[in-house]
């Protein structure tokens, strides 16, 4: 806690205790969303059993499913056959306790495929759009079920690297994903179908989990997702999210002028570069380069030894503030300045 | 090849869309492939296309009535976020008016009742009995105009192959067009048109 002793600048204030642990909260959040994706199809099967009054005819494993889902849902509902209808869908589009919520990319895709604006559908995207305009690309870091698997995958890649397997870490232009968003919109318009539904990992994962649990088995989307995992390991770390994801592009554009941002407190920064190393999206927090791509994952806040990163309310990022005041570079420069005088 | 992949093949395939679905082309542009209709279906009858029906209908819901037919519970329309499946009240009049999945057609050569063995299973399975289907004195079924094409009759038919089949709406349109063309070409008005009455 070095910054408490430094002289009073208005930007240096004691940071809420929770900031350092937001990354763990985020992981809890991601895990919960992923478990929900597994749970909802299971609850659906339970509903089928209930509506068919089929308990006596079930097999052992089916009885186990029935009993466990009954134990889970019975504290909340007396009438599972109808009440559980309020909890349906995936992160692509779903009902959360009766409230319909849709991914903005689905709305963009539908508008471009059908060349129409269907307002009841567009309004289901209102909550995510408003939240994105407020918090930026938070969906990518906090909710997306693909992020859950991609981050585990990048940990796996690190492990592979440790045992000597080649893993790629190539850098591409981050603007490729905006091009893909544009191309996807054009392709949707030409073909009249929503192309994004099969190119957008969270949508694919939600669908595949549902298919594998409640229907016949994994579909073709699994192959696509496996390909992106391999791309992330062998070509570019977190490459799909960084360079290719059309949803990430849309969220970045929506969250460009977000009021809640992460900022570096230059007075306490010591240029250790840990934040740059840990940033999943290859941004440059140490030199104030967050931009619209930051997904507020707070990994940099958690890793910073000087507590020099914090959330602020601001419509713009700061320009490069130069080396941190606690860094060796800054101190040697200031020594030179003193010597010149 | 790309064009072939996107060529709509529903002229040849016999499948039903969920009740209240829009017309085929609008439906494909509206449906966002969220799977909620299948999740909410209490009868578990909705399945999803892979690439077998062309790339454009990949991931869209369909019903194969012979395997499992729609029970017209109208929950899928309520849950559909895009209105690709219209929300319709579960009452007789709105269902008859707005649900257009197809029309059942009886094959009199196969139907047991028409062959003198009274059966009547399709009549008993029909959720809109006497509105959509009526039977004669030997329980020979006759499909009426109000048939919405839920497929419960086809599901319950005891003949193999089934004597009563649901012709989906998109197929009906193309068949009618084909017969009209045939009529125009041959100049013959006695060409057998599909009979619904």
Residue ranges of A 58-97 with Cβ closer than 8 A to chain B = 81, 85, 88-90, 92-95
Q: Are B56 and A191 within 8 A, CB to CB?
A: yes
Which of A81, A109, A114, A200 to substitute to test the interface with B, most B CBs within 10 Å?
A114
Name residue B48's beta-bridge partners. B61
Residue A181 clears pLDDT 90, i.e. is over it? yes
- For the sheet containing A93-96, what is the strand order? A87-89, A93-96, A99-102
Mean predicted lDDT score pLDDT of chain A: 87
pLDDT at A333: 80
pLDDT at residue number B94: 92
pLDDT at A6: 42
pLDDT at A174 over 50: yes
Structure confidence at residue B52 (pLDDT) = 80
Flag whether pLDDT at A153 surpasses 90. yes
A184 touches chain B (CB under 8 A): no
Shortest distance, CA A155 to any CA of chain B (angstroms): 30
Beta bridge partners of A310: A263
Q: What would the pLDDT profile of A195-238 be if each residue is shown by its tens digit? A: 899 889 999 999 999 999 988 788 888 999 999 999 999 999 88
Q: Nearest-CA distance from A207 to chain B in Å?
A: 7
pLDDT, one tens digit per residue, over B13-25 is 788 999 999 988 8
The 10s digit of each residue's pLDDT in A281-295 is 888 888 888 888 888
Q: If you average pLDDT over residues A43-49, what whole number do you get?
A: 90
Give A88 to chain B, closest Cα distance, Å.
6
Q: Is the ipTM of this complex over 0.90?
A: no
Count of other CB atoms within 10 angstroms of residue A265: 23
Q: Nearest Cβ partner of B44 from A48, A106, A220?
A: A48
pLDDT of residue A92 exceeding 50, the answer is yes
Q: How far away is chain A from the Cα of B6, in angstroms, using its nearest Cα?
A: 7
Residue with tokens 């869309």: B17
pLDDT of A251 over the 70 cut: yes
- Under the banding of pLDDT at 50, 70 and 90, the label for residue B5 is low
SS (H, E, C) chain A: CHHHCCCCCCCCCCCCHHHHHHHHHHHHHHHHHHHHHHHHHHHHHHHHHHHCCCHHHCCHHHHHHHHHHHHHHCCCCCCHHHHHHHEEECCCEEEECCEEEECHHHHHHHHHHHCCCCHHHHHCCHHHHHHHHHHCCHHHHHCCHHHHHHHHHHHHHHHHHHCCCCCCCCCCCCCHHHHHHHHHHHHHHHHCCCHHHHCCHHHHHHHHHHHHHHCCCCCCHHHHHHHHHHHHHHCCCCHHHHHHCHHHHHHHHHCCCCCEEEEECCCCCCCCCHHHHHCCCCCEHHHCECHHHCCCCCHHHHHCCCCCEEEEECCCCCCCCCCCCCCHHHHHHHHHHHHHC
Q: Could you report how far apart the first and last alpha carbons of chain B are, in Å?
A: 42
What pLDDT is recorded for position A313? 87
Selected residue of B9, B38, B39 to mutate for chain A interface (largest A Cβ count, 10 A)? B39
Quick one: which H or E segment has residue B3?
helix B2-6
Domains of chain A (ranges, CATH numbers): 91-256 (no CATH), 259-340 (3.30.70)
* pLDDT for B154: 93
Domain borders along chain B are 11-186
Identify the band that residue A1 occupies on the pLDDT scale cut at 50, 70 and 90: very low
Q: Note whether B81 contacts A90, CB cutoff 8 Å.
A: no
Q: Is the per-residue pLDDT at A296 higher than 60?
A: yes
With an 8 Å Cβ cutoff, are A93 and B81 in contact? yes
| pLDDT at residue A271 in the model | 86
How far apart (Å, rounded) are the C-alpha atoms in residues B43 and B36? 14
A114 vs B: CB within 8 A: yes
Interchain pair A194, B33: CB under 8 A: yes
Q: Do B32 and A110 touch (CB under 8 A)?
A: yes
Q: What is the pLDDT of residue A5?
A: 40
The closest of B188, B184, B152, B187 to B63, measured between CA atoms, is B152
Instruction: Say what the pLDDT of residue B197 is.
Output: 38
Residue in A90, A193, A214 nearest the CB of B29: A193
Mark yes or no for CB contact A214/B39 under 8 Å: yes
Smallest Cβ–Cβ distance between A192 and the set B28, B44, B51 belongs to B28
Q: Which residue has the higher pLDDT, B166 or A314?
A: B166
For B103-151, how does the pLDDT look when each residue is reduced to its tens digit (9 = 90+)?
999 998 999 999 888 888 999 999 998 899 999 888 899 999 899 999 9
DSSP 3-state of B186: helix
Interchain CB distance below 8 Å, B34 and A214: no
What are A307-322's pLDDT values in tens digits?
Answer: 888 888 888 888 888 8
Confidence grade of residue A66 (pLDDT, cut at 50, 70, 90): very high
A109 in reach of chain B (CB within 8 A): yes
Chain A residues whose beta carbon lies within 8 Å of the beta carbon of residue B55: 191, 193
């Amino acid at each position: 806690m070095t910054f408490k002793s430094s002289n009073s600048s208005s930007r240096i204030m004691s940071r809420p205790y929770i900031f350092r642990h937001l990354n763990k909260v985020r992981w809890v959040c991601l895990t919960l969303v992923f478990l929900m994706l597994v749970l909802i199809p299971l609850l659906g099967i339970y509903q089928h059993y209930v509506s068919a009054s089929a308990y006596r005819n079930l097999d052992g494993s089916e009885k186990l499913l029935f009993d466990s889902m009954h134990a889970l849902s019975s504290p909340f509902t007396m009438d599972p056959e109808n009440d559980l209808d309020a909890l349906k869908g995936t992160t692509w589009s779903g009902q959360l306790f009766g409230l319909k919520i849709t991914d903005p990319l689905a709305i963009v895709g539908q508008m471009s495929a059908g060349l129409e604006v269907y307002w009841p559908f567009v309004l289901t995207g209102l909550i995510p759009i408003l939240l994105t305009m407020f918090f930026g690309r938070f969906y990518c870091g906090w909710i997306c079920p693909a992020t859950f698997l991609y981050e585990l995958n990048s940990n796996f890649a690190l492990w592979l690297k440790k045992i000597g397997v080649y893993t790629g870490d190539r850098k591409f232009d981050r603007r490729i994903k905006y091009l893909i968003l544009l191309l996807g919109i054009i392709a949707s318009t030409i073909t009249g179908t929503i192309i994004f539904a099969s190119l957008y990992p969270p949508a694919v994962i939600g669908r595949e989990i549902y298919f594998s649990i409640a229907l016949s088995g994994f579909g073709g989307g699994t192959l696509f997702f496996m390909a992106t995992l391999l791309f992330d390991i062998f070509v570019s770390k977190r490459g799909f999210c960084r360079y290719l994801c059309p949803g990430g592009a849309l969220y970045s554009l929506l969250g460009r002028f977000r009021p809640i941002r992460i900022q570096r407190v230059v007075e306490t920064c010591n240029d250790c570069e840990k934040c740059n190393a840990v940033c999943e999206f290859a941004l440059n927090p140490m030199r104030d380069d967050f931009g619209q791509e930051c997904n507020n994952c707070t990994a940099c806040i958690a890793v910073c030894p000087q507590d020099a990163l914090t959330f602020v309310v601001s419509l713009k990022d700061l320009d490069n503030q130069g080396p941190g005041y606690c860094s060796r570079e800054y101190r040697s420069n200031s020594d030179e300045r003193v010597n010149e005088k | 090849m790309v064009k072939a992949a996107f060529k709509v093949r529903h002229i040849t395939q016999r499948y039903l869309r969920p009740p209240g679905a829009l017309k085929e082309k609008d439906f494909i542009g509206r449906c966002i492939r969220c799977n909620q209709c299948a999740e909410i279906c209490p009868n578990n009858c909705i399945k999803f296309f892979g690439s077998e029906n062309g790339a454009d209908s990949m991931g869209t819901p369909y019903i194969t009535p012979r395997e499992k037919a729609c029970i017209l519970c109208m929950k899928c329309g309520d849950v559909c976020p895009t209105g690709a499946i219209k929300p319709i009240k579960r009452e007789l009049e709105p269902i008859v008016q707005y649900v257009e999945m197809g029309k059942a057609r009886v094959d009199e050569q196969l139907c047991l009742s028409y062959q003198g063995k009274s059966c009547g299973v399709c009549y008993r399975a029909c959720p809109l009995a006497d509105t959509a289907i009526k039977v004669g004195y030997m329980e020979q079924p006759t499909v009426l105009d109000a048939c919405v094409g839920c497929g419960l009759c086809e599901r319950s038919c005891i003949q193999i192959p089934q004597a009563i089949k649901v012709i989906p709406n998109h197929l009906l349109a193309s068949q009618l067009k084909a017969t009209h063309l045939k009529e125009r070409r041959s100049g013959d008005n006695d060409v057998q048109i599909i009979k619904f009455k």
